[in-house]
Amino acid sequence: MSTDKKTNKIACEIIQDLMPTYIDGLASESTVRMIEEHIAGCDDCRKMLESMKSDDEMSAAPDEREVKEIDFLKKSRNKNRRAVILGILLTILLAAAAVGAKQYIIGSEYRGDMACDIEVDGSNMQLGVTAADSMHVIRGVDFTVENGVASGKARAVLPGIFNSGGTIDGDDIVTCDWAGSFSFDEEIREVRIGDRIYWADGRNISPRVSAVYNAGHEYIGDAPANSASLEALGIVLDFGSLYSELQTDKEPYGWAIILDGDQAKYNPDYLGKRLEGYGYVLLGTVSNLDEVEFRYTADGKTISKKITCADASRFLGRDIKECRSDAGALAELMEKADLD
């Protein structure tokens, strides 16, 4: 009896060792018959086989769930990737549209030179403007007014189908980049757009007059400002290099301008009138300047030409110092001196 139990016990152990192979379908036919015959009469082994099959199915189930989860994650990732790509494309399109609107419709401040047609009647103004360069089209001008000075900022866009020209009605039809009418709360005596003066006291102001007016300053002892005035006037272009001597210790305050080189190449009358004109303008645009002296050499002779405020005022027909605060008076002076 003891032998049978031992034999059965060994047989069960062997059967149990073979069960994984049986469950995986890898056992031979004879092994399969042996296992099946054994479990038919052995409750313990049959229960163990059923338990092992159940564990195997449970271990396989997470793999299937994992596959489904991976598939879901892949689909979600693909959707997110598409959403990100669409978002990037939309952002690029919106940025391009904003840049296009800025460049072709809205515009940005234009600081270049312009051709202007201005008509002022008291507090009313008609304005037509055209950009001096072909790379911009003026889209509009916005003004603020203070003490009779209308200060404007021009907006320009790139040339395109959105930009049509303007027309000013008058004795002649004038076509330009942009035209507009303005009505202010006070009478206008000067019109500025950007850094340039375009109109003052009934006169159109040339770029040169505007530059000279803007270079005007209070004190003859300010050497950098003096240089800016000479550059705006263009004296060096006329007569070549020069240098200055200043009298700022006591009145009358003076400015001596010494021309380098022999000036005999110029007609004496032309040279004299030209230097007088430059002297008048400097006296009119430097507030505390009383005298201007030009020194130069012609045919080996040193010549000195001095101009005073009294001389300049007689030439203009009114106080020369009005030119410091009135661009129209300066324009009149420079026109008379043939320097405009």
DSSP letter for each residue of 300-337: TEEEEEEEEHHHHHHHHTS-GGGGGT-HHHHHHHHHHT
Residues 290 and 325 in one domain: yes
Q: In what order do the strands lie in the sheet with 254-262?
A: 242-247, 254-262, 291-298, 301-308
User: Rounded to an integer, what is the distance from CA 13 to the centroid of its chain?
Assistant: 89
User: What span, in angstroms and rounded, lies between the C-alpha atoms of 189 and 197?
Assistant: 11
Residues 9 and 90 in one domain: yes
136 and 170 share one domain: yes
Is 52 found in the same domain as 6?
Answer: yes
Which carries the bigger pLDDT value, residue 191 or residue 113?
Answer: 191
Q: Region 139-158: what's the mean pLDDT?
A: 93
pLDDT at residue 66 in the model:
64
> What is the structure's pLDDT at 248?
95
Q: Identify the domain boundary among 204, 227, 252.
A: 204
227 and 147 belong to one structural domain:
no
Our separate counts of H helices and E strands in the chain read 9, 15
- Please check whether residues 94 and 143 belong to one and the same domain: no
Mean pLDDT across 279-295: 97
Q: Between 307 and 164, whose confidence is greater? A: 307
Instruction: Answer with the one of 68, 84, 106 that is the final residue of a domain.
Output: 106
User: What proportions of the chain, in percent to the nearest 5, are helix, strand and coil?
Assistant: 50, 30, 25
- DSSP lists the bridge partners of residue 124 as 121, 183
- Is 62 found in the same domain as 142? no
Q: Which residue did the predictor score with more confidence, 316 or 106?
A: 316
Shared domain for 21 and 56, answered yes or no, is yes
* 48 token code pair: 């163990």
pLDDT in the model for residue 7 = 45
pTM above 0.75, yes or no: no
Question: Averaged over 282-301, what is the pLDDT?
Answer: 96
**How confident is the model over 128-152, as a mean pLDDT?**
92
Q: What local confidence, expressed as pLDDT, does residue 212 receive?
A: 97
Return the higher-pLDDT residue of 151 and 60.
151
Please enumerate in sequence order all residues whose Cβ is within 8 A of that of 40, keeping only pairs 6 or more positions apart, or say none.
Answer: 46
Residue type, 104: Y
Domain boundary at 74, 106, 138, which?
Answer: 106
Can you tell me the mean pLDDT for 132-153?
A: 92
d(CA 92, CA 82): 15
DSSP assignment of 231-298 equals HHHTHHHHH--EEEEEE-SSSSPEEEEEEEEE-TTS-HHHHHHHHHHHHHHHHHHBTT--EEEEEEEE
Conformational region of residue 50, where left means phi above 0, alpha means psi within -120 to 50, and beta covers everything else: alpha
Within 13 A of 228's CA, how many CA atoms are on the CB side?
18
Whether 117 contacts 128, CB under 8 Å: yes
Which domain range does residue 246 map to? 210-336
- Looking at the fold, whether 43 and 144 belong to one and the same domain comes out as no
**Whether residues 31 and 86 fall in one domain:** yes
**2 pLDDT more than 60:** no
> Could you tell me which of 165, 161, 159 has the C-alpha nearest to residue 115?
165
Residues 15-25 have a mean pLDDT of 82
SS3 category, 109 = strand
Q: What is the mean pLDDT of residues 32-49?
A: 86
Band the pLDDT of 225: cuts 50, 70, 90.
Answer: very high
Q: How many domains does the chain have?
A: 3
Average pLDDT estimate for 64-90: 75
What is the reported pLDDT for 22? 82
Token couple for 319: 């106080």
Do 119 and 22 lie in one domain? The reply is: no
The single-letter DSSP state of residue 217 is: B
State the pLDDT at residue 5. Answer: 44
* pLDDT for residue 57: 66
pLDDT given for residue 49 in this prediction: 85
Q: Can you tell me the distance from the alpha carbon of 290 to that of 312, in angstroms, rounded to the nearest whole number?
A: 10
Q: Are residues 29 and 136 in the same domain?
A: no
Please determine, for residue 174, whether its predicted confidence score (pLDDT) is greater than 80. no
The pLDDT-based confidence of 187 (bands split at 50, 70, 90) is very high
Sorting pLDDT into bands at 50, 70 and 90, what band is 6? Answer: very low
Range of 21-30, 72-81, 248-257 with top mean pLDDT: 248-257
Q: What is the mean pLDDT of the chain?
A: 86
Residue 233 has pLDDT above 70, yes or no: yes
Strand pairing partners for 305? 294
